[in-house]
């Protein structure tokens, strides 16, 4: 039977960012240096496929430091941790490696600098997300206030409206954040913002590629995990940019075939913690049903690389 034609538009850039790549390398190098088991506090990145593969190599994923023995190395995830966590590890004389993305660390440093200048900080982020918890945990309670929406801005209670700064979670939607920033500036005209945008280059680039693809396609598949903030934002960005159907899939097995029945064009992208092999799997699965023609939509070139900590570059 003849397969129906399908024009497939592939976002570039997509998938792993430099911070995710570095975090995964840190776990792999720690396993080579110290042997298994190596403990990891929280998922190293938000992707089940990546986590399961590292687990097979000997990584043990735990929720809290209390779940780790004193005599084995522990790695802190790419999302960052509150200051109390490394302090606790030091008190227990543990070997620990911090895999926090350097762009998240930049936000931590920013928050501390504002605090030292006597400013209270408003963080734009998602409640309960590990990155938000980590950033807010850099400073004493009450020094960082969280807002998630424009509506939250009207309700936030600050100590002194003339002594405020704001920071943002790095994986948010650029458009959503712009609205919240505008509301903050309207309500608190003296508020100080970041010197450079907190939303990371990879989040921005992936969202821009989706916006460029959306008018060309009938449907969009975003390869990523449901607990991945940047992946979920890509689905939202696609919908807002005019794509009539957008779905988040962890693996090809999750594609909703009924929802894309009768389409002639589809876009594929991947969140910053989704490996390329999962994108390849989705494309291969589409080829079993369609006569696929692939066009890459490139909106930016990425050549960022972050070094792993010195402790892992030195011999055991």
Closest to 161 (Cα-Cα) out of 153, 170, 169: 153
Residue 282 token pair: 């989705």
Q: CA-CA-CA-CA torsion for 96, 102, 107, 110, nearest 10 degrees?
A: 90
Q: Any binding-site annotation on 244?
A: no
Quick one: how far is CA 53 from the chain centroid? Answer: 19
Q: Any binding-site annotation on 46?
A: yes
Q: Any binding-site annotation on 205?
A: no
Q: Any binding-site annotation on 115?
A: no
Q: Any binding-site annotation on 79?
A: yes
Compute CA distances 92 → 70, 88, 237, 285, whole Å. Answer: 6, 6, 44, 49
Long-range contacts at 312-316 (CB < 8 A, ≥ 24 apart): 312/26, 312/29, 312/30, 312/33, 312/97, 315/33, 316/33, 316/34
Q: Any binding-site annotation on 243?
A: no
Closest to 39 (Cα-Cα) out of 26, 22, 49: 26
Q: Would residue 197 show up in a list of annotated catalytic residues for this protein? A: no
Query: Are 99 and 76 within 8 A, CB to CB?
Result: yes
Helices 201-213 and 229-240: crossing angle in degrees, nearest 10, is 30
- Rounded-to-integer distance, Cα 249 and Cα 223, Å: 5
Q: Any binding-site annotation on 200?
A: yes
Q: Any binding-site annotation on 170?
A: yes
Closest to 221 (Cα-Cα) out of 279, 270, 164, 268: 268
Q: Any binding-site annotation on 101?
A: yes
Closest to 306 (Cα-Cα) out of 89, 32, 16: 16
Residue 235 token pair: 């689905």
Q: Any binding-site annotation on 273?
A: yes
DSSP letter string, 194-221 = -SS-SS-HHHHHHHHHHHHHGGG-SEEE
Q: At 247, give phi and psi (nearest 5°).
A: -130, 140
From the candidates 63, 64, 66, 131, which is the catalytic residue? 131
Known binding-site residues equal 17, 46, 79, 101, 129, 170, 200, 228-230, 273
User: Residues with catalytic annotation?
Assistant: 131
Known binding-site residues for [4Fe-4S] cluster equal 17, 101, 200
Known binding-site residues for dimethylallyl diphosphate equal 46, 79, 129, 228-230, 273
Known binding-site residues for isopentenyl diphosphate equal 46, 79, 129, 228-230, 273
């Amino acid at each position: 039977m003849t397969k129906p034609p399908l024009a497939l538009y592939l976002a570039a850039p997509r998938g792993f960012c430099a911070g995710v790549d570095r975090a995964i390398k840190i776990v792999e190098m720690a396993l080579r240096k110290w042997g298994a088991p190596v403990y990891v506090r929280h998922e190293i990145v938000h992707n089940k496929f990546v986590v399961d593969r590292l687990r097979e190599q000997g990584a043990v994923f735990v929720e809290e430091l209390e779940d780790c023995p004193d005599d084995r190395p522990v790695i802190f995830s790419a999302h960052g941790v509150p200051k109390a966590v490394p302090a606790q590890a030091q008190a227990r004389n543990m070997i620990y490696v911090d895999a926090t993305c350097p762009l998240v660390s930049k936000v931590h440093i920013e928050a501390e600098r504002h605090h030292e200048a006597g400013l209270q900080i408003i963080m734009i982020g998602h409640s309960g997300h590990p990155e938000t918890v980590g950033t807010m945990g850099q400073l004493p309670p009450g020094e960082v206030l969280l807002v998630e929406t424009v509506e939250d801005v009207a309700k936030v209670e600050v100590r002194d409206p003339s002594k405020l700064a704001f920071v943002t979670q790095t994986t948010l939607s650029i458009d959503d954040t712009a609205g919240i920033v505008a509301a903050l500036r309207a309500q608190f005209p003296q508020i100080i913002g970041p010197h450079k945008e907190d939303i990371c280059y990879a989040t921005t680039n992936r969202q821009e590629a989706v916006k460029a693809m959306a008018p060309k396609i009938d449907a969009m598949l975003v390869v990523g995990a449901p607990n991945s903030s940047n992946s979920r934002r890509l689905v939202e960005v696609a919908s807002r940019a005019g794509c009539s159907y957008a779905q988040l899939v962890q693996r090809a097995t999750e594609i909703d075939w009924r929802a894309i029945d009768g389409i002639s064009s589809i876009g594929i992208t991947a969140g910053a913690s989704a490996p390329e092999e999962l994108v390849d799997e989705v494309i291969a699965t589409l080829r079993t049903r369609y006569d696929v023609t692939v066009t890459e939509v490139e909106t930016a070139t990425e050549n960022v690389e972050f070094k792993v900590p010195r402790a892992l570059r030195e011999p055991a």
